[in-house]
Structure 1
Amino acid sequence: MKKILFLALLLSGFIGISQTTVNGKVVDQNNEPIPGANVVIVGKAIGTTADFDGLFNLETSEVPPFQLKITSVGYSEATENVTENNQTFTVVLNEAQTFLDEVVISASRTPERIFESPVSVERFGLKEIKNTSSASFYSGLENLKGVDINKASLTFQSLNTRGFATFANTRFLQLIDGMDNSAPGLNFVLGNLVGMNELEVQSVEILPGASSALYGAGAFNGLLYMNSKNPFDFQGISTYLRGGVTSQEAAGSNQYYDIGIRAAHAFSDKFAVKANFSILKGEDWHAVDRGDFDNPTFTRADPSYDGLNVYGDEVGIVLNFDTPLNLAPGTLGSAFVSRTGYDESDLTTYDAESVKFDGSIHYRPFANDFEIVYNGRVGRGNTIYPGANRYAITNFIMQQHKLEFRNDNFFLRGYITTENSGDSYDTRFAAINVNRAWKGDVQWFTEYTGAYIGSRLGNTALPGITTRLDDTAAHAYARQAADSGRLVPGTPGFESAFNQVISDGDLATGAKFIDNTKLRHVDANYNFTHLTKDIAEIQVGGSFREYVLNSGGTIFTDFDKPITYGEYGAYLQVQKKLVDDRLKLTGSVRYDKNEFFDGFFSPRLSAVFTAGEKRNQNFRASIQRGFRNPTTQDLFIGLDAGAAILVGSAPNNLDRDVRTFDISAEGQALTGLQTSTIVGRAAYEGGYSLSSVLAGAPTAADVPIVKPEEITAYELGYRAQFGKVAIDLSAYYNAYTDFLSIQRVLVPLYGEVGDGGLSLLALQNGDRKVYQAYTNSPADIGAYGGTLGIDAKIFGNFDIGANYTYAEIDFNQAAFPDFQTQFNTPRHKVKASFGNTELFKNFGFNVNYRWSDDYEWQSTFQNGPIPSFSVLDAQLNYSVPSIKSVFKLGGSNLLGEEYFTAVGTGLIGSMYYLSWTINN
């Protein structure tokens, strides 16, 4: 009996630890393997992933019968019933008829098909990443309808929707796995410079237009949401190697490379890890426009020349050549003279670089859908950022660290973002202060004045002067004399002075950009649908954020200690389906509070109605309010940018910016003072409007303190599927109030605005300073437009698509001459694509074409027209299943017509590349 019991216990033990094994292959309707397909036991967090050949092997302690769900992005899901051990399946997934079948999360914070989304949404998934003809997945996003990408650099591309954006795009939110990817001190995203490795991207979703009701202040004009691959679902090691050539007339042909690797492994159904690394290096687009943008006829021979991509020549004064010798007024006259500048190419190496690393630990303590995730991201890069000046962003580092608890119904996450400006510097101030390190402004202008007067009067004591020179020749002689011994780029003297300047954070003597700002963020969401599905789908959530500004007084007025402030918000969303599930109503409301401003409610109402016998058409409408808080710079900046002194308008910032300026000889005679001290508050309460001074009728500028900007967004849309044809149409109107803006004012160094005397003499004598104030425009501003997209399959398996975008601003510029909207968007855009993922066995191709209408660019760097342009990209790809590889040969801007998307940037040339992707 004891032996029988022992054998029974032993047998039961073996049964308890026995494994069920399931094998199979996942293929499409053409019997081609589908790599990366997910195979999961229904109702369990247990599964595996198909390899490059579509093969999978699943070992589990689950005892049959149970059911498998097999899914892959771009395909309809399938299920298989496992009834016994060692079963083998061939699973056929049918390709989704159109992109409207694909699932997005961002539109309602819950999974839903694009077809059912209550607002416009664009999706870029694994299939699109594989087939993009652009050199990177991020660049490929500009082929989506309604999406613009402004290109400042090879590594800095600023994405935007529905207008109103410079490169400092503070109206558009970019999230990576729920983390705001904006640099907290800069307040905007540096493209994908410190973003995501493309091997790690599962999908990218873009919501054009306001999304404040769910995502708060940052999602004012649009949202980009990047989702990464979970290591439980996507395992193994994958790599890509991409190399090629950039071609630009100014820079010539230069090599670039882009390499990435991803490794992920699930050690059990409870524990998984992943890590990603990528590096891109190349030669940036050279900016070499030496024309004087404000005076197109000027050359470097003109005394007041100020070249667009020439810096240091912004320093200039009016020289009166009669005063030194007490000549009768008008004898020699006067002229505005600027110092000799340096080309941008003298001040930066144009080394573009992006190095990214991230790693995650995923833990499922109960082997179900509850998951604990730690994610750390570090990015370092070199790029060029056009702001008020052109900034050489060098060895810039940004880190993000996140801890998240989540399951299918909730998440709770907290993360911290820190930035370190590294060796970044302002190229304009680098030129200005290299000049001053060699020879001070007073000495240079004094020498220029003496040489000009002497050459005009024929002073033979001057070298080379034997007779009187005319005005043009005298100016040329004076500049040559004042520049004698000037530091020449490439010489040891120049390099020594340059390196000293770019390591100095005081803009009076240096150019270094110092920023170690950080933010802390916590947000949570709970979806009650599993409890309330018979009533409605209900979600609640909230967030808290704290900024810690730390620039050592070089950008912000944090000269004594870091500046800290916070904001918080909460939201509620209810969805309900009616009329046999044909009508879906969604209502959302969010409340946000920044410590400097009153609280704000952001409601959204939307309706989607599905029509047609086959439920293949829907109509959608939505209305929502949104808001945008002033940025950290709007509130706390205190920076002399050369062209203007920037002063933020937080209530406790107005008196923190204190500066002392020299007064001219004429002003000293009037006041008896040699210097004047100006407090930042004067930008708001003690200046003249710039336009009134230029018009010859100085008027006091009353600049209100900044407050949040508001938007009311209306949208109508239509989507339909007719067989293999998908149509997506949308139209919108955005009405803005309290539009965040800047206003430049002239602050006199003596007298008081409105005194009718002394302050006007200060303007006349040049004893005034340009200040830039941050405020809200009283103007009524609107924007409207629409998109139309058609995608289809033709001739069997060919993909073809075309889309059109219209965008227009509704604003009376004549009524508000001082205000720049910075709409920066073409009125018309057309995009088209044509390709085939399987033209013949293992071979595919894709072609993308884009045309952009001309438009007007406005920014703090320079305004000007952007000519229309056309761009053609194309790629050929070849799969080699035996080595789990895909080879791609492609190029962007194959037409070779160089173009630019912003004034002052380098012309964008062509790129040609060859890539090898393994096991992805």
Structure 2
Amino acid sequence: MNQKLYLLFIFISLKSFSQTENSKTKQDSIKKEELNEVVITASRRSENIMRSPISIEQLKSAEAKKMGSPSIYEALENVKGVQIITPSLGFKVINTRGFANSTNVRFAQLVDGIDNQAPHLGAPIANALGANDLDIDKIEIIPGTAAALYGMNAINGLANIQTKNPFEYQGVSIQQLTGVNHVGNIDRFSPKIYSQFNLRFAKAFNEKFAFKANASTTGGTDWVADDRTDLAPNANASTGLFGADNPAYDEVNGYGNESANRKTLNLNGKNYVVARTGYRETDISDYGIKNYKADVGLYFRPKPENELSVTYKTALINTIYQRSNRFRLDNYTLNQFAVDFHNPIFQVKAYATTENTGDSYNMRSLAENMDRAYKSDDKWFADYTTAYKNAITGGATVADAHRIARTQSDQGRFIPGTEAYENKKEELIDINNWDIGAALRVKSTLVHGEGLINWDKAFGDFFEKIDAKLLSGVDYRNYIIVPDGNYFINPVHADENLTYQKTGAFTQVTKDFFSDKLRLGATVRMDKADYFDAKFTPQFTAVYSPKESLNFRASYQNGYRFPSIFEGFSNVNSGGVKRVGGLRIMSDGIFENSFTKASIDKFQAQVNTDVNTNGLTQAQAIEKNKNTIQKNPYTYLEPEFVKSFEVGFRGITLNRNLFIDADFYYNSYKNFIAQVEASIPNTTDPNQIPTALYSKNTQSRYRLWTNSKSKIYNYGGSLGLKYRFDEMFTALTNLTYTKLDRTDDKDGLEDGFNTPEFNVNGTLMAQNIWKNLGASVTARYQNNFDYVSFLVSGTVPAYWTMDAQVNYYFKKSGITTKLGGTNVLNKSYTSILGGPSIGGLYYLSLVWETNKI
């Protein structure tokens, strides 16, 4: 489906919205569901969604179940303003308002107000530690910065998954969803079974004590990432070798042939860039998915409106994860303990999350070191040189000589599928050093405590007289990392854990004016993190409601994001390149003494061109082009910063049949946390620096976390429409526009915007078509967009996709059946470069629920 068909779909929907025949029952339903809907995430207190001071979206469980998505979490793709990218069938990433990536550290994800991030990443592993479908009540999403109230790096947005309280939702619920994917020969797999099992048990023993337990398992075969586009197509342009003839060939989902695995060889008077052969992801990866999660909770209500809860969550993850490289997560575990007490006046909460990466490994490092395990780089390139020269002497063409040289140099290589290969693979994925192995071995803990107080509840008479509300909060967080000697080290005390602490506090005041038609709010927040000065974050909001069904809002706020543990403290050796955290404690002296890789690459290319086409000797070419090399202009990390202005409207019209929600925002960013590659020459003689930087063997190479010097501006808006035709049919339409406005002082380190300009979706839902039969169809479209990452950069093609489902409720047995599919037309697409091709998933879900225990 193209854009014209989508515009036709929207036109038909809007045409239908103009109808005015409505029943009293429908009007009352709209009023109840929209006018009286309550949210808690936007202001950290219960409030009417119509008068929310900032944009907030919500997806209720009951509505999500009527969509074609197999889970509520995946149904978020149908929510206004939300972008979901899919690095794996078992790992989906939520983002809003641009600057998306597969480890989205700018978007926070909570479950009942508790952060469910993996500590060392600073971002969640999708919904791995979240709630299962049977326990989710609704999901609230703040698109845009939420830093003033939450202070947990939520400068792009925040999602809060709210679960069902066992006092209000009792009973036993069981779901079995069985499906099939890899249908129609879209990749190397024949059709594979996908299975998800969910269980919920909740019991209130009396009005004071309740218990809840949940369990979930997910199994299947992941989508395949097999993009064979050459990432170095012009590495040998000066010698006329392109495509299959290019000896530096580096396909997107092939690893071990990247820049760190290439060398410039002088062969018969010409300089050629040659890469080692590497391995495709399809050869080295395990595409099996086996994820498990469970949680239990005890709940105590000593008196009405007072509740104490003690909960424990655990997750075991076996799936694929994408960051700057692709990783296989095996036996990756997360555990979380939480205590929460709240009443109308105050709330206190404390939790601890532990992370153990288990037997996980880096696919790129595995491929690199699988090659080196049978022959070192020096030996391989020496053999290549000899074989090439012999082939040329024997009369072979240049292209054929390169092919012959590779074949002979690869003799003895480990072949995927053989016993020798599998034994070597098991050995390498257990070596925790990426220069010689591939293991990801991280153990970390996040400890968090916070408290809130509603002053207007504590001193009700006073605040009622002045018609105002006052809320204050304080929080503390500590990240604790066990140094593993490869991924993390403690540069000061080698035998002690790394710690990284943050504290914050905020106060929010709101006041109503003009008979409660105008509500003004102001918030100020202070955050202090180790290694950084205190940062202050203000927020100002206004909501004008001339009547209950018409609400206009405006807000201005700032937001900060402090570096994650990995950005600040990493210490990774990988393929001869050391990735170093950007805090001075980790990278002292490197910034000041290094030269940028971008300038070194340009210098090397110019030298090769002069040798190959202009007849210069290597020494002459180095002397001619030495001024191309540039000193590293970057320095140690500072927090990211965003300014955001937003206006919006929310209302109900057309005899209360049409719900409208619209917003527009403008953001400016600076100090984007990014990576720069740089090298320090292994010489202190200024005259020898160019020669040292021409060869990889005479320089120390680094990838450093730093701040971009660019100032970036983006804007956008979204429009959501919901129309109920009658008691049977409901239509939803969402249009999101997201635009990168401009980049000042552009330095090439700014994060990729990585977001489509247009994203539109429409859903038509029907219930009680015949008795308890319901159905829905959803269509989505997004245009092509530029994608930038360290793994691969390029253009993500536009795509459209369709989900559909039919459901039936068997009232007597308490069973709901749902037959559905995502991407039902099975037109494969990719949501990010380097990620998998996504086909159709077709499933049957059976849910049995009872309130009798």
1:526 shift after superposition? 1.2
Q: Which moved more, 1:531-540 or 1:728-737?
A: 531-540
Structure 1 residue aligned with 2:264, among 318, 333, 337? 318
Structure 1 residue aligned with 2:276, among 312, 317, 339? 339
Deviation sequence 1:445-492 (CA, Å, 0-9, x none): 22222222222223xxxxxxxxx3222222222211111222111111
1:183 shift after superposition? 0.5
1:764 shift after superposition? 2.5
Correspondences of 1:839-858 after superposition (within 5 Å):
839-858=769-788
Deviation sequence 1:581-614 (CA, Å, 0-9, x none): 11111111111111211111111111101124xx
Counterpart in 2 of 1:424? Answer: 360
Alpha-carbon separation, structure 2, partners of 1:693 and 1:304 = 18
Counterpart in 1 of 2:202? Answer: 264
Structure 2 residue aligned with 1:732, among 665, 671, 676? 665
Alpha-carbon separation, structure 2, partners of 1:298 and 1:426 = 29
2:633 maps to 1:702: yes
1:777 shift after superposition? 2.2
Decide whether the 8 Å contact of 2:429 with 2:438 is kept in 1.
yes
2:248 maps to 1:304: yes
Q: Which moved more, 1:551-560 or 1:195-204?
A: 551-560
2:725 maps to 1:794: yes
Alpha-carbon separation, structure 1, partners of 2:840 and 2:359 = 29
Alpha-carbon separation, structure 1, partners of 2:576 and 2:799 = 31
1:772 shift after superposition? 2.0
> 1:556 aligns to what SS in structure 2?
coil
2:726 maps to 1:782: no
Letter in 2 for 1:305: Y
1:301 shift after superposition? 5.0
1:795 shift after superposition? 4.3
2:236 maps to 1:292: no
Alpha-carbon separation, structure 2, partners of 1:845 and 1:644 = 54
Structure 1 residue aligned with 2:385, among 439, 449, 452? 449
2:625 maps to 1:692: no
Structure 1, gaps ≥5 residues long: 1-75, 78-91, 323-329, 459-467, 656-680
> 1:291 aligns to what SS in structure 2?
coil
Structure 1 residue aligned with 2:414, among 476, 482, 487? 487
Decide whether the 8 Å contact of 1:100 with 1:726 is kept in 2.
no
Letter in 2 for 1:126: S
Counterpart in 2 of 1:543? Answer: 475
Decide whether the 8 Å contact of 2:435 with 2:576 is kept in 1.
no
> In the superposition, relative to structure 1, how do residues 631 and 725 fare at CA in structure 2: closer, same or farther (>3 Å)?
same
Structure 2, gaps ≥5 residues long: 1-23, 235-240, 604-627
1:738 shift after superposition? 2.2
Decide whether the 8 Å contact of 2:580 with 2:702 is kept in 1.
yes
> In the superposition, relative to structure 1, how do residues 292 and 240 fare at CA in structure 2: closer, same or farther (>3 Å)?
same
Q: Which has the larger Rg?
A: 1
Deviation sequence 1:727-749 (CA, Å, 0-9, x none): 11110001112222222223322
2:181 maps to 1:246: yes
1:96 shift after superposition? 4.5
> 2:403 aligns to what SS in structure 1?
helix
Alpha-carbon separation, structure 1, partners of 2:315 and 2:576 = 32
Deviation sequence 1:270-319 (CA, Å, 0-9, x none): 11111000001010001111231331895555322112111122312122
Counterpart in 1 of 2:134? Answer: 199
> 2:443 aligns to what SS in structure 1?
coil
Letter in 1 for 2:722: D
Alpha-carbon separation, structure 2, partners of 1:540 and 1:548 = 27
Decide whether the 8 Å contact of 1:552 with 1:561 is kept in 2.
no
1:775 shift after superposition? 1.9
Alpha-carbon separation, structure 2, partners of 1:720 and 1:94 = 15
Decide whether the 8 Å contact of 2:486 with 2:573 is kept in 1.
no
Decide whether the 8 Å contact of 1:258 with 1:280 is kept in 2.
yes
2:560 maps to 1:634: no
Deviation sequence 1:340-379 (CA, Å, 0-9, x none): 2111112112012221100001112x34222211110001
Q: Which moved more, 1:545-554 or 1:901-910?
A: 545-554
Deviation sequence 1:239-276 (CA, Å, 0-9, x none): 11100101251133211100000001111111111100
Q: Which of structures 1 and 2 has the larger relative contact order (alpha carbons within 8 angstroms, sep 6+)?
A: 2
Deviation sequence 1:212-237 (CA, Å, 0-9, x none): 11100321110000111111111111
Structure 2 residue aligned with 1:881, among 806, 811, 832? 811
Structure 2 residue aligned with 1:469, among 389, 396, 402? 396
> In the superposition, relative to structure 1, how do residues 609 and 649 fare at CA in structure 2: closer, same or farther (>3 Å)?
same
Alpha-carbon separation, structure 2, partners of 1:825 and 1:455 = 48
Alpha-carbon separation, structure 2, partners of 1:795 and 1:227 = 29
Alpha-carbon separation, structure 1, partners of 2:433 and 2:371 = 15
Structure 1 residue aligned with 2:742, among 787, 811, 821? 811
Alpha-carbon separation, structure 2, partners of 1:836 and 1:182 = 37
Alpha-carbon separation, structure 1, partners of 2:668 and 2:85 = 24
Decide whether the 8 Å contact of 2:661 with 2:720 is kept in 1.
yes
Structure 1 residue aligned with 2:291, among 339, 342, 354? 354
Letter in 1 for 2:664: A
Letter in 2 for 1:652: I
Alpha-carbon separation, structure 1, partners of 2:565 and 2:61 = 36
Alpha-carbon separation, structure 2, partners of 1:866 and 1:293 = 15
Structure 2 residue aligned with 1:520, among 447, 450, 474? 447
Alpha-carbon separation, structure 2, partners of 1:871 and 1:140 = 13
Alpha-carbon separation, structure 1, partners of 2:530 and 2:415 = 51
Counterpart in 1 of 2:370? Answer: 434
2:325 maps to 1:389: yes
Decide whether the 8 Å contact of 1:791 with 1:801 is kept in 2.
yes
Deviation sequence 1:750-785 (CA, Å, 0-9, x none): 236xx3x21112122343344222222222211110
> 1:704 aligns to what SS in structure 2?
coil
Alpha-carbon separation, structure 2, partners of 1:764 and 1:581 = 70
> 1:839 aligns to what SS in structure 2?
coil
Letter in 2 for 1:269: E
Q: Which moved more, 1:374-383 or 1:291-300?
A: 291-300
Structure 1 residue aligned with 2:825, among 895, 901, 905? 895
When the two structures are superposed, what TM-score results if normalisation uses the length of structure 1? 0.82
Alpha-carbon separation, structure 1, partners of 2:846 and 2:483 = 42
Decide whether the 8 Å contact of 2:449 with 2:477 is kept in 1.
yes
1:175 shift after superposition? 0.5
Taking only aligned residues, the RMSD between alpha carbons, in angstroms, comes to 2.0
Counterpart in 1 of 2:16? Answer: none
2:501 maps to 1:566: yes
Alpha-carbon separation, structure 1, partners of 2:407 and 2:673 = 46
When the two structures are superposed, what TM-score results if normalisation uses the length of structure 2? 0.89
Structure 2 residue aligned with 1:508, among 390, 412, 435? 435
> 1:392 aligns to what SS in structure 2?
strand
> In the superposition, relative to structure 1, how do residues 583 and 422 fare at CA in structure 2: closer, same or farther (>3 Å)?
same
Decide whether the 8 Å contact of 1:691 with 1:818 is kept in 2.
no
Decide whether the 8 Å contact of 2:232 with 2:248 is kept in 1.
no
Counterpart in 2 of 1:870? Answer: 800
Decide whether the 8 Å contact of 2:83 with 2:96 is kept in 1.
yes
Q: Which moved more, 1:889-898 or 1:289-298?
A: 289-298
Count of aligned positions: 780
Alpha-carbon separation, structure 1, partners of 2:670 and 2:386 = 55
Decide whether the 8 Å contact of 1:548 with 1:564 is kept in 2.
yes
Decide whether the 8 Å contact of 1:645 with 1:772 is kept in 2.
yes
Alpha-carbon separation, structure 2, partners of 1:918 and 1:132 = 18
Alpha-carbon separation, structure 2, partners of 1:162 and 1:318 = 42
> 2:123 aligns to what SS in structure 1?
coil
Alpha-carbon separation, structure 2, partners of 1:448 and 1:780 = 46
2:492 maps to 1:553: no
